[in-house]
Chains A and B, each alone.
Chain A
Amino acid sequence: MGARKRDWPAILLVAPAAAVFLALLVLPMIVVLVLSLGDRAEAGGYQAALTLAQYANLPARWTAFKNTLVMAPTGTLICLVIAYPLAYFLALRANPRTKLLLLILVIAPFWTSTLIRIYAWIFILGGKGIPALLANLGFDDIRLINTPFAVMVGIVYAYLPLMVFPIYVGLEKLDKRLLEASADLYATPVGSFLQVTLPLSAPGVVTGCMLVFILLMGEYLIPALLGGGKVFFVGNALVDLFLQSRNWPFGAACAVALVAIMLVTVTLYMRVTLKSGTMRDQSLI
C-alpha cells in the first residue's frame, strides 16, 4: 500500500461509527458547553450570552457536589476492601474447574436490571424488612431506608462486580512461580502476599477503582431510590435542573463541572496505568 494512498474501503467502514460519535457524543458535548456559558430565559429555556455567571452560581448546588465527592471515593474504597479478598479467592484459591463459573456469577448482576436490584433494597431496608426483624429483637425505631447508610449499601451492592473483575484479571495473570520462589526463599505467606502478590495486582486495583469511581460520580438511581431526597448526588441535581426546574444553562454548568472532575481523574488514571502497561487486556465484561 502506498504511504499516501487513502484506503477508501476502510474509511467507508469506519465513517458511520465516526458519524455516530460525532453527532451524538462530540456535538452534544459542545452544545452543553455553549449552553453553560449562556443565560436562563424567562420561560426557563436558554438565552444566548457569553457569561460565567452559571459557573459562579455553582456553590448553590454545593451539597450535591459535596455528597458526591465524599460518597463516591468512600464507596469506591469500601468496594475495593470487599472485592479484593473475593477476587483473590477466585483467582488463586478457588477450584480451577468452577472458578470461571463463579466469576461469571459475580459479574452477572452488574449487567442485569440495576433498577430492579436497587428496588430490592427498598424492600429489604424498608419499614417491613430488616427494621421489622430488629424490632422483634428489641431494637425499636431503627430507620435504614433514606439514609446515607442505605445509599452506601446500594452503591457497594451495585458496583462490587465491576471492582472484582479487573482485580481478578490481574491476579489470574500473575506468574505463580514468583509465589513459589518467594516461599522457597523463606518468605512467610504474609510476606509473600505483601511483597509479591499485592504489588503485582496493583494495576488491576487501579483500573477497578477508576471504573467504579467514574461511574459513581455520575450516579443518579441509587440516591434517588434509597436516599429518599435526603441524600442526593450531582446526578440528582442534574435531573432536577433539566427535567423539573428547567434551568438548563445552570444544569449545563453543573454537568461541565462534573465532567471536568472526571476528566482530571481519568488523566491521572491513564498516567498510572499506562506507565505500568496493563490496560490492554482489561474490558468491562
Chain B
Amino acid sequence: MRVLRSYATLVFLFLYAPIAVIVVFSFSAGHSASDFHGFSLQWYATAAGNRFVKDALVHSLIIAAASSALATVVGTAAALGLPRIRGPFRVVFDALTYVAIMVPGIVIGIATLIALVTAFEVLNPTLAALWPGDPAASPQLHMGLGSVILAHSVFATALVIMLVRARLLGMDRSLLEASSDLYATPWGTFRQVTLPMILPAVIAGFLLSFTFSLDDYVVASFVAGPTVTLPIYIFASVRRGVTPEINAIGTVVLSVSLLLLFGSLLLLRRGQRAGAATSKA
C-alpha cells in the first residue's frame, strides 16, 4: 500500500516535472535557456512582440475555431441521425468513425496532401477555363488555412460523434416519449428536451477538437503549404535550439490547453450527473 503510493507519486513527478521545468525557465532573466538567472517576464514580452509568433497564433486560432465549429455541427447532426439508421451503411460509417480516431496523424496528413494536390490539378485548369477574364489572373486553389481546416475536421468530427452518441445513449428515452405525448412537435422536442441534454457533450466535443487542432503539428506540416501555424513555428524554432522565448510560448500554450481540457471534462461530468439525475426521477 505505502509502496504503491510512493510509486504513484514518482509517476506523477515523471509526468509533471518536465512541464514544471518549462514553466520555471520561462521566467528566467538569462539568455541561456539552461541556467536560471533571476525572475523576469522579458521572454513573454519578446514573444508577444514577435510578429511571426503573432501571425502563427492567429492562423492556429482561425484553423482551430473553424475546424471544430465544422466538426461540432456535422458530428452532432450525425450522432442524432445515427440511431435511426441500420444496415450495411451504418456498419461502414461506424467503422470509419473508429478509423478516423485511430489512424495516426501522419497518415491523415499524407492522404489529405495527396488528395488535395490531385484535386487542385483537376480543379485549377477548370477554374482558369471558366474564368471570364484573363485565365492567368483566375483564382487558384492552393494549400493553406483551408486545407488544414479540412484535414483537422476529420478527426474532430469522429470525436464529436463519439462524445454526443455516448451522451445520447445515457439519455432517458421516456422523456422523448413524454414530450411527443404532450403534443410537442419533433423540433420542439429537440429544442426543449434533446438539445439541453446533449449540450454539455456538444460543447465538450468542440473544446476537445479545438485543443487537438491547436496542438497539432504533424497533420498541419503536410497540408499547411506556406502557412505557418503556432506548432509549426515552435517546431522550427526548437530545431534551431532551445530558447527562453519558446519556454514562454510553451507555458502560455500549456495553460490554455489545460484550461480547455478541464473545461470540457467538467462539462462531460456535469452531463453525466444530469443524465443520472433525470433517469432516477
Chain A interface (Cβ within 8 Å of chain B)?
A: 7, 9-14, 16-18, 20-21, 24-29, 31-32, 35, 82, 85-86, 88-90, 93-94, 102, 104-106, 108-109, 111-117, 119-124, 126-129, 132, 157, 160-161, 211, 214-215, 217-221, 225, 235, 238-239, 242-243, 248, 251-252, 255, 258-259, 262, 266, 283-285
Contacts and interface: CB of A to CB of B under 8 A. Distances in A.
A262 B106 CA distance: 13
Interface in B95-131: 96-97, 99-108, 110-115, 118
Nearest to A104: B265
Contact of A266 (B102, B108, B246): B102
Contacts of B1: 93
Given A12-B81, A89-B7, A122 B107 contact: no
Given A112-B261, A117-B19, A218-B107, A32 B81 contact: no
24 contacts: A11-B81, A16-B77, A17-B157, A20-B74, A21-B96, A21-B154, A24-B112, A31-B118, A32-B110, A86-B8, A88-B4, A93-B4, A111-B208, A113-B254, A120-B21, A122-B238, A123-B22, A123-B34, A219-B104, A239-B221, A242-B113, A243-B221, A252-B114, A255-B107
B228 interface: no
B51 interface: no
Interface residues of B, number: 85
**Max chain B CB contacts within 10 Å: which of A21, A82, A89?**
A21
Contact of B25 (A114, A123, A214): A123
B183 interface: no
Nearest to A90: B8
Contact of B85 (A14, A117, A122, A215): A14
Interface string B67-92: 00000011101101110110001000
Given A17-B161, A214-B104, A235-B104, A113 B7 contact: no
